[in-house]
Each structure stands twice: as structure tokens, then as C-alpha cells.
Structure 1
């Protein structure tokens, strides 16, 4: 702010202090008014933001619970997950089954004859190795001349990894020279997945005879280390086999995972049912989100006394009509009955309204409603006329893009911008006032100086008059 410093030497006045006081008297009330307006508006912006966030959280769970697939989920529960686990799709029908596991499905592991020289032994001619997995002959593995056993292992691992076949070397260092064997393993299970291998040239030393489970002859010791076999199990006493330990569609919509064999006469109980725990969890999320909206609005519209001699503390949105309208609309929908089933209002689910407006769940009554009237619960919450869609329709005008709250925020931000503009205008007006006052006081002080000079000259003139007698 520009200023002109004058001392008030002629008038004897402290002109800078006087001007400063006059400027402050002019600026103070308006500046205080703008500060109050900015503080109140900022608080309202924060309050509207909190309200919008609480509505958005509630809308998220409302939309999630309005999905029919939520009520179509099924659970498959095992009495012993260390031996059997399971999962179910929406196509699964409720039921209880007894599962016995006699044997898990296994994969094949085989070994070559011993190779003198250990893992460094070389095969001069090179050539190809052909691995057979059941009835499938895998792509030939090309082996370079003079390749070592290690090189062959690496070639198999590189070229057959996508077929689930891997190789390793076991070395017996107690012999002189050391001897090694090449091991092949497969990830594929089932009786038609036994491994075998043939080689050309001097790679024939790595031949492995494929085990035939239908031959009636036992596997060869130290060659067929693990025989591929089907899983053997029974469901409600019906004996079955499967090539893998993941058993799908034996019960429609249910996948059973065999983990370990069961004890004789002690089958695992598998229970397929509606996913009631997921429904219960989502209902609790809905209640929590609704209660958050209620507590948020209560805080924003509260008036709290802080003492006899102090003004009460008021919430940022005290007296806001839009908050009252929003809550009224939401509460009316929660109280309205809908549908023609056993579940028509929230109280039928054990969900009641408390004195402070929040909801409370009676877990026992909710569990009973889900057990006895599951389909009615689903129709109560979902669909065009379901509770979730109706409540969301009441909230949407407030929270959507361009909605009531966004317009409100736009207006409040406009007020903040107006406060900034008024502050700039006040600053210019005060600067002009200061300049004008300094100019006026400067002129006054100059005039006083001139009058003092005139007074001094007159006094000297009077003293010079003849016959003037000094007293």
C-alpha cells in the first residue's frame, strides 16, 4: 500500500498514527465480515463434502445388494478341509453328500538306467529323445553331439516345459566312477499319463520303458518310481474314478478337490447351500453405511451448548433444508412395505430403527429369516421395486453429477471467489483512503506552517512600530 510519510512538525500532530487509526476503522468491520463469511462458507463446503461422501458409500452397497447374482451364490462346505474342499456355482442345488476318498490321482515319475561317469558323462553321437506321455508322443528333443547328461537334462526342461514334463539328475558318488540316473517327472495325473522315453544312437542308453497299467504286470523297481493313476472316491456310496484330484460336475455346479484319503468308514460331509454368510455380511454393510449417513447428518446439523456465557457450537449445515429432505425421503423408503412375500419391511429381518435414527440388527431374527424365507429376502432387496433400488433413487438426485449437492458446492465455491474479489476491492479502497487522508493532513500541516510564519512576521512588525512600549 503506497503511503507518504509526514511528521506533523508544523501542527504537532502524530499524523501517521492518526491516518492508520482512521484507515483501520474503515477497513476493520468489512474485513471481519469477509472473514466470518469465508469461515462459514468453508465449513459448509467441508460439510457438504462429508455428506456427499457418506451418500456415495451408501450408494455403493445399495448397488452391490441390488445384484441378483449376490443371492444366487452357493457355498460348498466340507466337514474336514484337510481331506476334501469344494466350491459351488449358482447352478448347484442345496444338498448334503458323503464323500469317501480311497486314493488320490498321481502322476508319473520314471528313471533311466545308471550312466557311468556321473552327470558329466557325454553322448558322442547326439540325436533325438522322444518322450511319450500316455498315448501322446511329445515333440522330439534334439540333442547335440557330445552333449553331457546335464545338457540333456537342460534340453528336456527347455523343450518340454510347456507339456508339464521336467528332468533332473540323481548321482551316486559312492561308486567309482560315480554313476548318475536321469529322472523324468510329469505334472499330469491319471492312469493314461505314464511316462516313457526312447533315444536314437548312443542316446538309447537313456531309454525308459513305459508302464502299461493294463498289462497286469507290476511296475519295474527303480524305473517306475511313481505310477500315474486315477483318483478313486465315492459320493454317497457310488464308486467313481477321475484322472485329476479336481472333480467337477459329478454333482452339478460343484467342484470337489480331493486333498487326502479318508479313513475307512469315516466319510467327509459336504454341504451345498445358499451363500447366507455373504448375504448377512452385505446386509451389515448396508446398515453400517446407512448409520454413517445418519451420524454424519446429525453432526452437521447439531447445536451444542458449551456454557451459560458462551454461544452454542453449531454444525456446518444447521437449518439446511436439503439435509432434512434427504433424510425424510430415505427414512420413508425404509419404512414402506413392499412385495407380497413373508419379508415386506426391514423389521421382518430383525432390522429396527433406534431413537437416534440409526438401524440395529437382531442377528437371531435375521438368521431365521434367511433360513426360512431366502427367496423372499432376495425379492425384498433386489429388482426395480426392491428396497435397494428405491433408496438409491431417493439419494441419486443429491449425489449424481450436476445434482443438488454438486450445485450447492458450486454456489459455495462462488461465494469463496466473491470473498476474494471483495478483499481485493477493499484493499484498493483502503489504499485510496490512506492516500487521500495523507494528502489532506499534509495540506493541513502545510497550511499550519504557513499560518505560523505569517504570525511570526506580524509579531515582528508589531514590535518594530514606534512608540510601542514593551511590558
Structure 2
């Protein structure tokens, strides 16, 4: 075989006699490679389409989240809290809290029961990280009334810091935490209030830690915790915690310090949050539509160098565009829970280029006037009791023959159909794949088929190249032998003539 030195694996010596060498064979192979070029171009286009749909999906997911946020009650009923003395008393409110104001006077701040050890003699010449040289077992009652006693083993190599770590590792079970203050061990309840706790243990260990209550000269100091006491609008309240969430529905009162006079606190609806959310909705819609427009652009087919978007002619992408336009600018399903009929009534408008915008001033004014009416336009849900049915539509009954009842949720508003559209494109349902999943599988199958065809055709071309190399190599050899024979013959003839 010839020496292989060229990029295509063909000897550069080939063609010395036949004048058909590596370059000529490559040209012949290239002439037969049209189908391979077309298949590779087709593969590149599918990959470009696949990547375009991945980007569409990413933007749809972001848009989907803003739609879901518009459906959440906390978006429309988030509360802003005020306090005349925020260092003394503050409040927070959930979406269930009503706009209101309260006068709160704090007589007593809740504290935790606490026990400070006596002097720890072994700490005289040591740091909290040195071995303490004491051992034994500490015992705590379980926080759970039905739980077992919690035992903590202390070793001689443990430092005072190690001991506090071991106690804190069990805080979830015991309800007791440990700290070190001025080389003394301080134990306290995790929760505030009048709840007591007790630590027990081996006598020698309790003595070494300054925790022996019977040691008259070095007994620990125990202080019982107290409950928080305050008045709200003149009503007396006592709770074990400084964060009280069971006095006013949806409101948590945070007590920080005792007060001499009433602190005025209040909640009002946060009107900025729905504005921010709707602005995000507008932004995400425009970004998604702009991207779809770019990727479905057909350009000018009459031009030779026309460049189309990878999704030009994609009916699925076109259907998504038209559905979005219709749902964003059209009339939502009948919704008797709001007086608004069109998105434009709330300041949502689309210009001639299809760009969505929000008139913030108009929207804010409507929010101030009737926030519930605005919220209900975007989303309203109601639950009703209905008879539960099986997959065949038959009413399910209990042992007494009475129909089993369940809640049926009905949804209304501007975002409902948009939410359904996004779900159909993004989420696989029981027994039904999403549009994106179907697209993804189709692209993967097409690429797999193309790769197999490309491999088969490439193998065919490789065999054809090998055939050409063998054929023209033999031709070269034959022509070389013929030239050598001719040279020999001419030499012999010359010698005859000389004689």
C-alpha cells in the first residue's frame, strides 16, 4: 500500500504516473457528497430549532411564574406595617389580615427560664477550648411530655465549649440551650415563658460544672422565665412568647421592650406589589413575543441571501403566538365577580407592533378605589361541594348509601386561560405529554435518524474512496511497470543499433 501522508489518508505519491492523485480522488468524492451535505445542513437546522424551543421554554417558564403570582392572594393583599415606636413594638400581617390600627402597651416582656452555674474551679487556668478533665452524665427531661429522659455523656477530654455543643445538639429534644458567659455555664429554655427546666447528673460532674444546687457556697442561680403581658386597644393579653399570632387574625405582634405609653401600630394594603407583579407580567410577555417573532421571521424569500428564523413555518410556534395575543388582548371568560370586562379598562394596552404596556397611574387609581374588584378581574376561585364520581361518571356512595361529597374548585379571570395555555405547552399531564415534550421527542428522533443515515452514507463514501485509491494505485503500478519495460526495450534497441 502507498505511504499515507495526506489529510484524507491517501499517499501523496499516488498519481505520479496516472496523474490521478489525492486531490482528484477528493474531488470525485466531493461530487458524490451532495446528500451528505444536505443531511448535515438538515441536522444543523434541527439543532438550531431544538435550541430555539429550549429558549422559548425558558421564557415561557418565566412568564408562567408571573401568571401564577398574579393568581396568589398574597400578591394582592400583602400588607405594609407601621409603628410609632418600632424599637418597642412592631407587627406583621399575612394576606388574611385586615387593614387596621391598634394601640399596644407592653407591661412585661417574655423571658426564658435560666440557670447560671456557680464558679467552675477547673476553669481557673484554662480556656473554654482546653480539656476540662471531668466526666459523667447530664440528664434532661424531654420536651415531649411522653418522651424519654435525655442523657448526655461528658468525657474528660471535653472542653467547656465541647460540653455546650453536646447540650445544644440535643436542644431540639430537651428545649434547653447552653452558652458560656465569663467562664460559667449558662442554661436556658429555648422558648420564653414560665416553663421550668431541670438539669441532673452525676454528683462529681455537677460539682465540677458548678451545677450542684445543694452546694451552699457555690450553688447555681436559677431565674424563672415570665410571660409577655400587654394590652391591645385596652384588652389585657398574656402569652409565653414575644411573637403573638393568635390575638388578631392574620396578624403577628412582635414585642421588643416595655412601654410607658401606647404604641400605635397599623397595617395597610401594599399597592406596589401588584403593580410590580403586573409590570413583570408585561415585561415577560413582551420578551417572549419578541423572541418568537425573531425566531419565526420569514424575511424576504425573493432575495437570494434571505435569512429565515429557525422556527419559520413552525405551526406550533405560530399557534402559540396567536393564542397569546388573543388571550392577552381579548375578553376573559364570563366573570361575574368583577365589573371589568376588558384588560384595557385596567390600563393594559397593546400597540400596533403588538407590544404590551401598563398605564401605572390608571392601574394604581383603580387599586385604591376597589382593590378586590381589580384582583377578581385577574383571578377568582370558589369552592363548592359536589358529589364525588368515579372514572365512569357514577356517583360514589359511602357505607350508608349516601353520596360522598368533595370540593370542586371553579376558577375565573384573565389569568385562567393563560395559565391553561402555559400548562399545555410546559407540563406533562396524566396520559398526555406537553407540547414541548412532544417537540423535544420529535427533534431527538429526527436527529437520531439523521445520524444513522449520515453514518451509513459516510461509510459508503469511505468505501468508495478506498476503491478509488486501490484502483488508481494499481493503475499507477501498471503504468510504472509499462514505463520501466519501455525503458528496458529502448535500451536494448539502442544497443542493437550500436552493434
TM-score (norm 1): 0.66
Which of 365, 377, 388 is the matching residue for 2:415?
A: 388
The 1:356–1:260 alpha-carbon spacing in structure 2 relative to 1, beyond 3 Å, is farther
Q: Is the 8 A contact 2:14 2:476 kept in 1?
A: no
Shift in Å at residue 119 of structure 1? 8.1
Which of 409, 421, 433 is the matching residue for 2:464?
A: 433
Residue number in structure 2 paired with 1:203: 214
Whole-Å separation in 2 of the counterparts to 1:447 and 1:166: 100
Shift in Å at residue 205 of structure 1? 1.7
Q: Is the 8 A contact 1:111 1:208 kept in 2?
A: no
Secondary structure at the aligned position of 1:249 is classed as coil
Secondary structure at the aligned position of 1:314 is classed as coil
Residue number in structure 2 paired with 1:84: 89
Are 2:279 and 1:248 equivalent residues in the alignment? Answer: no
Whole-Å separation in 2 of the counterparts to 1:411 and 1:186: 62
Residue number in structure 2 paired with 1:287: 282
Whole-Å separation in 1 of the counterparts to 2:434 and 2:92: 43
Q: Is the 8 A contact 1:246 1:256 kept in 2?
A: yes
The 1:93–1:447 alpha-carbon spacing in structure 2 relative to 1, beyond 3 Å, is closer
Are 2:349 and 1:352 equivalent residues in the alignment? Answer: yes
Residue number in structure 1 paired with 2:321: 327
Partner deviation per Cα, 1:109-151 (whole Å, 9 max, x = no partner): 6889x9999988xxxxxxxxxx9xxxxxxx9999xxxxxxx99
Secondary structure at the aligned position of 1:86 is classed as strand
Residue number in structure 1 paired with 2:400: none
Q: Which consecutive residues of structure 2, in runs of 5 or more, have no partner in the other structure?
A: 1-7, 125-139, 141-147, 152-158, 204-211, 382-410
Q: Is the 8 A contact 1:107 1:227 kept in 2?
A: yes
Q: Is the 8 A contact 2:329 2:350 kept in 1?
A: no
Partner deviation per Cα, 1:291-343 (whole Å, 9 max, x = no partner): 231122122124679xxx98344322123222221111111112222324233
Residue number in structure 2 paired with 1:53: 58
Any residues of structure 2 matched to 1:7-18 within 5 Å, and which?
Answer: 12-17=17-22
Whole-Å separation in 1 of the counterparts to 2:245 and 2:105: 16
Secondary structure at the aligned position of 1:271 is classed as strand
Are 2:378 and 1:373 equivalent residues in the alignment? Answer: no
Secondary structure at the aligned position of 2:21 is classed as helix
Shift in Å at residue 55 of structure 1? 1.8
The 1:16–1:322 alpha-carbon spacing in structure 2 relative to 1, beyond 3 Å, is same
Secondary structure at the aligned position of 1:234 is classed as strand
Whole-Å separation in 2 of the counterparts to 1:107 and 1:24: 88
What is the root-mean-square deviation in Å for CA atoms of aligned residues?
A: 5.2
Whole-Å separation in 2 of the counterparts to 1:400 and 1:230: 51
Whole-Å separation in 2 of the counterparts to 1:452 and 1:194: 115
The 1:271–1:352 alpha-carbon spacing in structure 2 relative to 1, beyond 3 Å, is farther
Secondary structure at the aligned position of 1:205 is classed as coil
Shift in Å at residue 13 of structure 1? 3.1
Any residues of structure 2 matched to 1:27-38 within 5 Å, and which?
Answer: 27-38=32-43
How many residue pairs get aligned? The number is: 406
Secondary structure at the aligned position of 1:414 is classed as helix
Any residues of structure 2 matched to 1:13-412 within 5 Å, and which?
Answer: 13-17=18-22, 19-67=24-72, 71=76, 76-106=81-111, 162=174, 164=176, 203=214, 205=216, 230-238=227-235, 240-262=237-259, 264=261, 267-274=262-269, 276-302=271-297, 311-338=305-332, 339-340=335-336, 341-382=338-379, 383=381, 384-401=411-428, 402-412=433-443
Shift in Å at residue 207 of structure 1? 9.8
Residue number in structure 1 paired with 2:402: none
Whole-Å separation in 2 of the counterparts to 1:22 and 1:380: 69
Shift in Å at residue 34 of structure 1? 3.0
The 1:6–1:257 alpha-carbon spacing in structure 2 relative to 1, beyond 3 Å, is closer
The 1:141–1:352 alpha-carbon spacing in structure 2 relative to 1, beyond 3 Å, is closer
The 1:344–1:419 alpha-carbon spacing in structure 2 relative to 1, beyond 3 Å, is same
Secondary structure at the aligned position of 1:15 is classed as coil
Q: Is the 8 A contact 2:111 2:226 kept in 1?
A: yes
Q: Is the 8 A contact 2:93 2:252 kept in 1?
A: yes
Partner deviation per Cα, 1:45-94 (whole Å, 9 max, x = no partner): 11111112222222233334334565565554434432222223454332
